Structure 1
Amino acid sequence: MNTSSDSVLSELDAALSKKRTVLNVKSIKQKSLIYALTFISGFISLGYQYFWFKSLTVTVGADLYSSSIVIAGFFLGLGLGSLYFAKEKFNNLAYYKLEFCVLLSSFLCTFVAKSLWLYLNLSEWFGIWGLGVVGISFVIPAFFMGGTLLLLIRLLSRLGGDVQKGTIYGINLFGAMFGVFLSASVLLPVFGVTNSLYLLYILNALVVGVGFLSEIKAPLSLNTSHVRGKGLPRGD
């Protein structure tokens, strides 16, 4: 009897060990995928900002106003988006939906930044405040960008990954840094402004597709037990 029991226990231990190995491999793949999305999302965000600025300098002129408009609109949108999507009711909002909104609104920003006709008419109607109207367009995609990082953290938690918020934020910032650096040093000299924006659109669409496939595998309920730090950002 002891020999038989030991044999059964050994088989159970082996099965559990195999299951743990499979789960660990799955967890590593999920974390790697989310980290890649986080990096690319940061790359795209600052890449957009750089090329919108370059487009606007052609339309408005390379001066303090054009740079201030893009930067102020971008960070205003990021702040508003982070505050808005931190609310608990968005815990199960699909990440890819926000990235899709970023993609759509980026077309609008590109049109506004490149449209001399629009700028001249706004200047005629509103004077110097026409630049402010242009700046509002840059708030829109940044608003959705402000929520993407929160939803990436929540998505990884729903997939059962061990979420370290500092790691997610750090990877996103590295992606943003490379987005600015490569846009100025590689993409602009090789592809120019318009083709570089097309490349960013393609990357953005790829992120939407991969995010959609990831959401299919994620349970609907948010599991906060895997989150390290001060908890997921929430609002009232």
Structure 2
Amino acid sequence: MNKRAMMLYVFIAVFALSGFSGLIYESIWSHYLKLFLGHASYAQVLVLAIFMGGMAIGSALAAKLSNRLTNLILWYGIVEGIIGLFGLTFHSIFVAVQSAAFEDIFPNLEAAWLVHTVKWMIGSFMILPQSILLGATFPLLTAGLIRRFPGNSGKTLATLYFINSFGAAIGVLTNAFVLIPNVGLPGAVLTAGLLNVFLAIAVYFLSKGDHYPSTKPASGADSSAISNSVYSYLLVIAAFTGLASFMYEIGWIRMLTMVLGGSTHSFEIMLSAFILGLAIGGFWIRKKIDAFDNPLLVLGIIQLVMGTFAALTIPLYNQTYELMGLFMEALKNSDSGYLLYTIISYGISLLIMLPATICAGTTLPLATFIMLKGTSGDSAIGKIYAWNTVGSILGVVLAIQVVMPLFGLKWVIGIGALVDVMLGLFILHRARISLKYHKPQVALVSMSLVIILAIPFLGLDTQKMASGVYRYGLAAISLGDIV
């Protein structure tokens, strides 16, 4: 292995640890804000909204500034260091803020709505700065490495997306099953902070003295072809892809909670399974992305496949109750039984989520790779990431506040699947793909439309959903059953 390749692998390892610590923060903040807000669900919603919103701001700022900076990797290290300092001081700040709020601020507020408003505002400000910084890490390091290691930009992009997501999936589980039980919340957030500081120091020594100006915007026929087809719509496509993916995440977590139970471990198992699927998608496409003759066609096909797989999780979900019921009959009420239950829960989560999330894990690298060939230079990375994150926030709001209350849980998945299929058709149209010359694509489009049109006739089995299979081992209940 030559020195250049070894250095690239070192940076890839750094970004894996960055993803690992990033999801520790998201998980830890939920626990802390649960104590502050007094409600676990409120804490999870607030953390998700602020975490994603801050990341959108951070990636947008990185996109705006990246063309002016010549050592993006060093700036990435600086950001990691500041995140680490926040991590090292977070517990002390939280204790001081909580004490001031409950002893001095809230007692002087007469209206209940004002207390809740101020409480949510304080909770938001405790995690917003770190979230903004976390959002800047992916665009800064990715653009910096593409400048430092030119050639095969698609592989570099997809590899970093894969390794960061994989680190995040491991971080969620490590935090839930290792850090919190052994060192508690203060120790877990301190561990993440120390890791970020270590990464910052390592990156400083690896990148000091580097000078790599912004890559020149693409020119020629390739760039022109992109701008004439779908280039100007790529940001909107990235936003809608994020919207659909997070509608899936919200829908699947709500659905699987009735199979796996509503414990903290169950939530983090499901979150890890979702992120692992994204990682596998990035891993799968990393060696293929630079070789695609028509990446737009690939992106359109993947959108169709993703929507189709997502829609099929509705009937598949009904079968998971029988699967969990079989395992519950065989498991013993012991520590070893709980370990097996946890592994089985992770497997069921992967069964539901993996096919569609693997597809989702390829879309952001593909869209970014296509846009890199346009006129934005490497600032395209931050732009795509920001729009995708904004779409994710809209997907969460749409799922929780609109679709679920008005149309029911099934349609959270159904509308997300419809969005993906429509995106796929739109991309194929804008890419000027003539389906009459692509028979496999015709078959895929036809199958996707048939499955989407079948969603109104697919249902969730309410008797199974009310069974409490994770507690009683019954896959379904009937009228008169005593549980």
TM-score normalised to the size of structure 2? Answer: 0.36
1:81–1:143 Cα contact (<8 Å) kept: yes
* CA distances 1:80-109 after superposition (whole Å, capped 9, x unpaired): 222331224554241012222312322344
2:247–2:395 Cα contact (<8 Å) kept: yes
Q: CA deviation at 1:141?
A: 1.8
2:324 aligns with one of 119, 122, 133:
119
Q: CA deviation at 1:30?
A: 3.7
The aligned counterpart of 2:345 is 131
Query: Aligned runs of 1:62-101 on 2, under 5 Å?
Result: 62-89=262-289, 91-92=291-292, 93=295, 94-101=298-305
* CA distances 1:56-101 after superposition (whole Å, capped 9, x unpaired): 1223322224312320111111122223312245542410122223
User: 2:263 and 2:238 mapped to 1: Cα distance?
Assistant: 32
Structure number with the bigger relative contact order (C-alpha 8 A, sep ≥ 6) is 1
Paired residue type of 1:33: Y
The aligned counterpart of 2:19 is none
2:250–2:396 Cα contact (<8 Å) kept: yes
Partner of 1:216: helix, strand, or coil? Answer: coil
1:123–1:210 CA distance, 2 compared to 1 (3 A): farther
User: 1:208 and 1:161 mapped to 2: Cα distance?
Assistant: 24
1:110–1:190 CA distance, 2 compared to 1 (3 A): same
User: 2:431 and 2:387 mapped to 1: Cα distance?
Assistant: 21
Structure 1 stretches lacking a partner, 5+ long: 1-22, 218-236
The aligned counterpart of 2:242 is 42
1:39–1:175 Cα contact (<8 Å) kept: yes
Paired residue type of 1:99: Q
User: 2:289 and 2:383 mapped to 1: Cα distance?
Assistant: 24
- After TM superposition, the structure 1 stretch with the greater mean CA deviation from structure 2, 114-123 or 91-100, is 114-123
Paired residue type of 1:140: P
User: 2:312 and 2:324 mapped to 1: Cα distance?
Assistant: 14
1:123–1:130 Cα contact (<8 Å) kept: no
Query: Aligned runs of 1:125-164 on 2, under 5 Å?
Result: 128=341, 129-137=343-351, 138-157=353-372, 160-162=374-376, 164=380
Q: Does 1:102 align with 2:306?
A: yes
* CA distances 1:90-129 after superposition (whole Å, capped 9, x unpaired): 5424101222231232234434444322321344467513
Q: Does 1:176 align with 2:380?
A: no
User: 1:90 and 1:190 mapped to 2: Cα distance?
Assistant: 43
User: 1:66 and 1:185 mapped to 2: Cα distance?
Assistant: 23
Partner of 1:213: helix, strand, or coil? Answer: helix
Query: Aligned runs of 1:148-227 on 2, under 5 Å?
Result: 148-157=363-372, 160-162=374-376, 164-216=380-432
User: 1:45 and 1:89 mapped to 2: Cα distance?
Assistant: 21
Q: CA deviation at 1:161?
A: 5.0
The size of the alignment, in residue pairs, is 193
When the two chains are superposed, the root-mean-square deviation of aligned CA atoms in Å is 2.8
Paired residue type of 1:70: M
TM-score normalised to the size of structure 1? Answer: 0.70
1:125–1:145 CA distance, 2 compared to 1 (3 A): farther
User: 1:161 and 1:30 mapped to 2: Cα distance?
Assistant: 13
Paired residue type of 2:252: W
